[in-house]
Amino acid sequence: MRLSILLLSLCCLFGTATVAAQTDSLNLPVYDYSNPGEYEIGAITVKGAFFAEQNAIIGVTGLSVGDKIRVPGPDIPRAIKNLWRLRLFTDVRIEQEKTIGDVIFLVVRVTERPRYLRHSYEGVKQGKHEDLNEIINTFIVRGGIVTEDAKVNAAEGVRKYFIEKGYLDTEVDVREIVDSSRANSVRLVFDVEQNDRVKIDAINFTGNTDVKDKKLRKQLKETKQVSKLNIFRGSKFQPSLYKEDKDALIAYYNTLGYRDARILDDEITRDEDGNVVLNIDLFEGNQYYFRNITWKGNSKYDDETLSRVLGLEKGDVFNQQELQERLTFSQTNSDVSSLYQDDGYLFFNIEPTEIAIEGDSIDVEMRIFEGPQATIDKVIIEGNDRTHEHVIRREVFTRPGQKFSRSDIIRSQRQIIALGYFNQEALGIETPVNPDRGTVDIKYVVEEKPSDQLELSAGWGGRQGIIGTLGVTFNNFSMRNIFNREAWHPLPQGDGQRLSLRAQTNGQFYQSYNASLTEPWLGGKRPTSLTASLFYNKFDIGSRAVPNKLIIQQAAVSFGTRLRWPDDNFVFRAGVNMQILTLEGWRQNFQTDEGVQLRTGNFNNFSAQFTLSRTTATDPIFPKEGSNIELTVKLTPPYRQLGLVDSDPEQFESVADQFRFLEYHKWRFNADWYTPLGGKFVLKTQAKIGFLGAYDDVVGVSPFERFRLGGNGINNQQASFAGVDVISLRGYSENELPNNFIRNPVTGRRTDNATPIFSKYTAEIRYPISLNPSSTIFVLAFAQGGNSWRTARDFNPFDLRRSVGFGARVFLPMFGTLGFDWGVGFDKDADTSDNGNLSTFNVILGFEPE
């Protein structure tokens, strides 16, 4: 016989549940509340629980087998209240299963809240799902209970996400659907209605008398009103960015000397079209100026020296930001702190204190704590799992026992980045201090990145058909471990040597093979590099009956070393090149200035090359500041002046005999400057100039080693491997520059011929999309001008072929630089332009052209 009695808590005592006693089918009497009975709990069972542990539920009730309870009484309502507090159930009941004498058997019946299994979206594009998933998962966990609060919070999180994107009118509804794939589980559907993005119709300022509205609007970098003139400028209202822009607005006022400026009120309203109107009420206050600047606590340097380094004078606008930069850190490392910290004063501290304000003038006292000089105890390198430690250690300028120097740390950081083996963004520098000993440790924490490159490409070579290229460059090679099997992962790495192998061919007509090896620290004690290279080029577009062949064989050795004067940013390199050019019926490229074609013969090009360069660029892939300046001189022996060959051209059997031993002096100047423009924008300016001269006018300028301006610097395969420097000029193909050709005095036909003089100038604005070392991506816009000339008399640096355009670059460690340029040339001649095309599209594969 089963007796069922529902026990509910007393309403008057607890207010959360009610205990009701009822009779079963045997019509047992209802419990008398005026005469409660005492029972011993014989057993407790739980029914209706799918997820919650039954023993845990019993434990929460506070009831145990063997306990004495009164029915009716406070024990059962208390147990029900304890279960409700868990917020796990939608219904809780405690029933009497049966009684035997004074022993009662209880059943705890619960109805669990549904559990969250998964969710989906409606009205949201796939690209936003990942971001929204992170938001929803902060409020609801898979397998967790679905409460109304959780649903409301998750929906509000989704709505705020779209509001921050400018969709202020976003509406989010959450639907709960039973998921039959699992018991008592539900699926949540987030129905999102973004509505239109809300634009900013107007930004109005009041209270500003000294700074114009237009100037103030420029300071709101992320909050822009709709522009009728600039259709490309986006406008959207994002609350969090608007708050940052308001802070930036006051910071801008502070730089102008308005140290009391503040926003009194800002109002956000909507016009009849639903667009936002911002009304910002400002208090400018007075503009302040420096009056007296005094120094206190300085013994190492006198007041005059510190004032000169500070660079601020009486009457200058009071700019707190500029003051801090000049005291603690400047981009040029010319601040007061650098003056001390470069001389070991690591514990140096300076506190500018306003000691008097009269009218619009402020007196500032510079309170200095010099402290003792610190020496370097240990230099620690961590994180290099491929590159051997000595490769990094030889690049740093901090040494144990030296005085601490902030400039040396900054320079060491730049040198480590310049290696190209490590992630620039992850490079960390720590300086743990031991104040008791007056020492500091310098710890460089690096993160390896792929640095080897693979070039695998195919291109169309005109009459020669498809030209295939296979090249590999190992930038962190280890020659000493080449016979150590355990060091091959997959090749021996870690010693900083550079091994390059490259092959390019289309079979019969064109073949090019080259190999080079560079040891950057010959002997391991000084930054003296040794480079050895070999290459073999063959171009054969004729036949056995009518040959048309060119072969170039070259071997080169060069040395380079870092100089100590004028400073250690200078590098000097010297090398010897031994090249033999063999022509057999060759009908392209090589002509004298008189238009005589060199077709057959052996030509010896033995030269010495000297290069002086200075590099301060911060990053080899995407430099943000610094410069690269290089001057190269290439000289052959003056054979005729030394009497090694006949100096009378009439004694030669042919024109080719005049150039059997090439004589020339060749000059190249390249300079790149990188300037940060604010934000992420970087300005690159560049100048390139080349000049090929002769020792005398008897033979004239060599027909080899000239310059070919135009195109992308890559497609002109014939010129690039045939002893000609190919210089790109965006917006123009190599066929569109008149001086690239010469007319034969006999036939009058125009034929290819490179020039002995060129110049090129570039201004390029760059913006990074991604600085991830695994794929550096940036876009650019450029203005460029260049030209080439045949004689020094014709040279005019202002007579340029101008172009503008845009492009993009992607640097992949395994493949080098990939990208494109689209340029429009303004100065094309009608008789040389390519079918009247004003623009050219260039593709960059593997490396950046000159």
User: What SS3 string covers 583-636?
Assistant: EECCCCCCECCCCCECCCEEEEEEEEEEEEEEECCCCCCCCCCEEEEEEEEEEC
Mean pLDDT is lowest, of 265-274, 380-389, 466-475, for 466-475
Q: Residue 767 — very low, low, confident or very high, per pLDDT cuts 50/70/90?
A: very high
Q: Does 490 sit behind a cis peptide bond, omega within 30 degrees of 0 on the bond before it?
A: yes
β partners of residue 98? 105
Which of 805, 807, 781, 770 lies closest to 680, judged by CA?
Answer: 770
pLDDT at 145: 79
DSSP state of 480: G
Helix (H, G, I), strand (E, B) or coil at 755: strand
> pTM for this one?
0.62
> What is the distance between the alpha carbons of residues 487 and 388, in angstroms, rounded to a whole number?
12
Helix (H, G, I), strand (E, B) or coil at 126: helix
For the segment 316-333, the average pLDDT, to the nearest whole number, is 85
> What is the distance between the alpha carbons of residues 268 and 245, in angstroms, rounded to a whole number?
14
pLDDT of 775 above 90: no
> What is the distance between the alpha carbons of residues 4 and 19, in angstroms, rounded to a whole number?
13
pLDDT at 294: 95
Question: Alpha carbon of 276 to those of 152, 223, 224: distances in Å?
Answer: 27, 11, 11
Pairwise pLDDT comparison (361 vs 25), residue with the higher score: 361
- The C-alpha R_g of the chain, in whole angstroms, comes to 40
Q: Which long-range contacts (CB under 8 A, 24 or more apart) does 17-26 make?
A: 17/77, 17/80, 17/81, 17/84, 17/92, 19/72, 19/76, 19/77, 21/71, 21/72, 26/1
pLDDT of 832 above 60: no
66 dihedral zone (left: phi>0; alpha: psi -120 to 50; beta): left
DSSP state of 15: S
pLDDT of 12 above 60: no
Structure tokens at 678: 């604010």
> Residues 325-356: pLDDT tens digits?
899 877 667 789 999 999 999 999 999 999 99
Q: Residue 304 — very low, low, confident or very high, per pLDDT cuts 50/70/90?
A: very high
18-57 in b/e burial notation, b at 16+ Cβ within 10 A?
Answer: ebebeeeeeeeeebeeeeeeebebbebebebbeebeeeeb
> What is the distance between the alpha carbons of residues 76 and 192, in angstroms, rounded to a whole number?
45
Backbone angles phi, psi at 255, to 5 degrees: -70, -20
Structure tokens at 472: 């590999």
Q: Can you list the alpha helix ranges (DSSP code H) found in 294-341? A: 303-310, 320-328, 336-341
Pairing of strands 707-709, 725-727: parallel
For 841, residues 6+ apart whose C-beta sits below 8 A from its C-beta are 820, 821, 822
Q: Are 92 and 110 in contact (CB under 8 A)?
A: yes
For 59, residues 6+ apart whose C-beta sits below 8 A from its C-beta are none
Q: Are 105 and 43 in contact (CB under 8 A)?
A: yes
For the segment 408-431, the average pLDDT, to the nearest whole number, is 88
Residues in the chain: 850
H-helix or E-strand spanning residue 369: strand 361-369
Question: Helix, strand, coil shares of the chain as percentages rounded to 5?
Answer: 20, 40, 40
Q: Does 566 sit behind a cis peptide bond, omega within 30 degrees of 0 on the bond before it?
A: yes
Q: Which domains does the chain have, with CATH numbers?
A: 5-112 (3.10.20.310), 115-193 (3.10.20.310), 200-283 (3.10.20.310), 289-369 (3.10.20.310), 375-445 (3.10.20.310), 542-557+566-846 (2.40.160.50)
Structure tokens at 135: 């938001």
Question: Alpha carbon of 7 to those of 21, 58, 94, 97, 836: distances in Å?
Answer: 6, 16, 6, 11, 97
**Tokens 């000297």 map to which residue?**
610
Helix (H, G, I), strand (E, B) or coil at 141: coil
**Tokens 């169309």 map to which residue?**
460
DSSP state of 425: G
> Residues 89-129: pLDDT tens digits?
878 888 888 888 888 899 998 887 788 888 899 998 888 89
For 503, residues 6+ apart whose C-beta sits below 8 A from its C-beta are 469, 470, 471, 512, 513
pLDDT at 760: 94
Mean pLDDT is lowest, of 218-222, 570-574, 667-671, 802-806, for 218-222
> What is the distance between the alpha carbons of residues 358 and 351, in angstroms, rounded to a whole number?
21
Average pLDDT of the chain is 84
> Residues 376-410: pLDDT tens digits?
999 999 999 889 999 999 999 999 999 999 989 98
Torsion over CA: 58, 60, 66, 70 (sign): negative
